């Protein structure tokens, strides 16, 4: 449902590469997310931390025309066609931020496990819809070559279980050795949320949408302030 809006307001056309600033402004008006240009891959911790602030780090280059159906690194096609339409959805934006918040204060091992689960859902996830196998991962939606492979009889498709997924190797220069499927897209989000709750951290955090800052919940007073703010929002 967001693609027609992106075509109308951001110049999504076959003969045009949309400007990231235009797309960023569109996203902010729809879900509060903004795009921040980067040259390439970030560390898992830095990428997930960006999500906590509703910032999506976005590459700027376009894949070479000699290989239009696959790119080993995320490019504009991957970001703009795979990620942006989902980030424009307020529910998915909230989910993405929750994953980012879960990474703050976590150990390196926990961050890597969270990033791996993110990789095999938001990047390469499969789900069932109306009795058919569908792809929702941005890495699949932006790569015709890997999409055909993932949906073929040759691919290794397993039921999504975070304990299994976190042990899977994330491949960035070739097709994945395995793909993971859930009963629905909502089921994938629910399983990721449940996994995020198991991450042990020395403190909890809360995002204040008014100040756009992360607040640490490390005392009774800070927790009371958050509860009071929520009560105030419900009363208005």
Q: Give CA 231 to chain center in angstroms.
A: 29
Q: What is the average per-residue pLDDT within 24-42?
A: 94
**What was the pLDDT predicted at 18?**
94
User: Is 132 marked as binding a ligand?
Assistant: no
| pLDDT level of residue 208 (50, 70, 90 thresholds) | confident
**What was the pLDDT predicted at 183?**
95
Q: Has 83 been annotated as catalytic?
A: yes
Task: Judge whether residue 216 has pLDDT over 50.
Answer: yes
Catalytic residue among 44, 78, 103, 146: 78
The CATH classification of domain 3-202, taken from the options 1.10.1380.10, 3.40.50.10490, 3.40.50.720, 1.10.800.10: 1.10.800.10
Catalytic residue among 83, 96, 103, 110: 83
Over residues 47-63, the pLDDT tens digits come to 999 999 999 999 988 88
**What was the pLDDT predicted at 2?**
92
Over residues 107-137, the pLDDT tens digits come to 999 999 999 999 999 999 999 999 899 999 9
User: Is 83 marked as binding a ligand?
Assistant: yes
**What was the pLDDT predicted at 209?**
79
Q: Has 142 been annotated as catalytic?
A: yes
**What was the pLDDT predicted at 125?**
96
Catalytic residue among 31, 44, 103, 123: 123
**What was the pLDDT predicted at 6?**
96
User: Is 78 marked as binding a ligand?
Assistant: yes
Catalytic residue among 24, 142, 143, 146: 142
Task: Judge whether residue 229 has pLDDT over 70.
Answer: no
Over residues 72-112, the pLDDT tens digits come to 788 888 999 999 999 999 999 999 999 999 999 999 999 99
**What was the pLDDT predicted at 231?**
40
**What was the pLDDT predicted at 71?**
76
Over residues 123-173, the pLDDT tens digits come to 999 999 998 999 999 999 989 999 999 999 999 999 999 999 999 999 988
């Amino acid at each position: 449902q967001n693609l027609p809006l992106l075509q109308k307001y951001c110049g999504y056309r076959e003969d045009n590469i949309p400007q990231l600033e235009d797309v960023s402004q569109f996203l902010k008006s729809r879900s509060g997310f903004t795009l921040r240009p980067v040259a390439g891959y970030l560390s898992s911790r830095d990428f997930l931390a960006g999500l906590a602030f509703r910032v999506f780090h976005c590459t700027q280059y376009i894949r070479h025309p000699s290989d239009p159906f696959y790119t080993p690194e995320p490019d504009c096609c991957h970001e703009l066609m795979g990620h942006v339409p989902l980030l424009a959805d307020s529910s998915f934006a909230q989910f993405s931020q929750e994953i980012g918040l879960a990474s703050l204060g976590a150990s390196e091992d926990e961050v890597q496990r969270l990033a791996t689960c993110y990789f095999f859902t938001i990047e390469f996830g499969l789900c069932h819809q109306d009795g058919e196998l569908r792809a929702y991962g941005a890495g699949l939606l932006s790569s015709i070559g890997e999409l055909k492979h993932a949906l073929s009889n040759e691919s290794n498709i397993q039921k999504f279980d975070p304990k299994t997924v976190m042990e899977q190797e994330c491949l960035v220069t070739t097709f994945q050795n395995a793909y993971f499927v859930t009963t629905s897209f909502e089921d994938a989000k629910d399983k990721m949320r449940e996994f995020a709750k198991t991450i042990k951290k020395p403190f909890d955090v809360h995002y204040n949408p008014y100040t756009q800052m992360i607040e640490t919940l490390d005392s009774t007073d800070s927790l009371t302030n958050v509860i009071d703010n929520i009560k105030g929002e419900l009363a208005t």
